[in-house]
Amino acid sequence: MIMRYVTPEEIQSARKIDAFSYLQTYCPGELVKLGNGEYCTKTHDSLKLSHGKWFWWSQGFGGVSALDYLVKVEKFEFVEAVNMLNKRAGFIPPSSVSKTEEPKIFRIPPHNYECKTVREYLHKRCISDEVIDYFIEKKMLAEENKTGYCLFFGNDEKEEHRQCSVRATDGKDFKKEVYGSMKAYSFHTVSCIPKDSVRVFESAIDLMSFATLMEGGDSDFHDENMMSVSGVYMPKKNLENSKVPASLFRFLEQNPSVKKVILHFDNDPPGRLAAKGIAAALSDRCEVKYVPPPSEKDFNAYLCVKKTEEIRTRKRRNERA
């Protein structure tokens, strides 16, 4: 039986195999030599392979890895393709528990979805009730019973909690990730219509702020793919060696139609550096844009300033009336 989920390590291993090497080793009869180092496939004469890359001209897309080839051309299920490639390459998934360490048990604090304290806190951060209600309904926002702190959940396809970030609601500068959280999952919302882009934020608060800003505009946050990477992403010193955050990596692997990543990171040196690192890591995968808030450090600060200005404007109009 084929597993319904594969780990980021298994996906990365499968991606190391290029399409030409795969065909040359396992399907040599499918390769047709054209000359000058270029090949096409017997099944698709418009699918050309050269210099380690492949491109299907009649369909307008291409790639490098055998994984992309199997999924996009041969129409394999993604997980099936990953498992098959790793099996043929002899990849053994790393054990999640070593002999010397205890397993990481994911224990979420007792919580509720009434969110009275959390709602008051988010109102102070200028988040709208519509946005708050949406994430409560999706079981992605809750309140810790003991402290009243915000719990932001990263859920899987079955809406089961896999990751949890905690933020204080009492004025303390306290935030953490619950022990045992899986980095491949994060606080997110998926578009209800086909969308070829994903908006990425440093925190759940910034994501909710952006969703609030969209209210009354030309588009709706329900029509957007949006996700948080749960904190500041630190790229490698050499940007060329940077890795994609696990949650974003998983989202892109499961949504191959997404071709644009819009990074709404903070408008500060760490935010700009993180954007450069991710852009370098995804240079051969999709378009990456860094779009910080028009002013202020982050989108929540920008939202609060904008709401304050709107209140002052309404007050002045009322005084003139």
CATH at 69: 3.90.580.10
For strands 150-155 and 141-144, give the pairing. Answer: antiparallel
Confidence band of 37 (pLDDT split at 50, 70, 90)? confident
Q: Are residues 286 and 176 in the same domain?
A: yes
Instruction: State residue 305's pLDDT score.
Output: 96
| Closest C-alpha to 184, from 235, 228, 130, 250 | 250
Instruction: State residue 321's pLDDT score.
Output: 67
Other beta carbons less than 10 A from residue 111's beta carbon: 20
Give the domain extent around 21.
8-89
> Span 79-86, mean pLDDT?
84
CB 75 within 8 A of CB 31: no
Q: What is the pTM of this model?
A: 0.67
> Span 97-119, mean pLDDT?
79
Instruction: State residue 25's pLDDT score.
Output: 79
Q: Are residues 122 and 82 in the same domain?
A: no
Q: What is the tens place of the pLDDT at every residue in 169-218?
A: 999 988 899 988 998 899 999 998 999 999 999 999 999 999 999 987 77
Q: Examine residue 100 and state whether it is found in any structural domain, yes or no.
A: no
Q: How many domains does the chain have?
A: 2
Average pLDDT, the chain: 87
Residue 155's alpha-carbon distances to 47, 151, 229, 255, 273, in angstroms, are 38, 12, 13, 16, 28
Instruction: State residue 232's pLDDT score.
Output: 63
Other beta carbons less than 10 A from residue 183's beta carbon: 17
CB 82 within 8 A of CB 14: yes
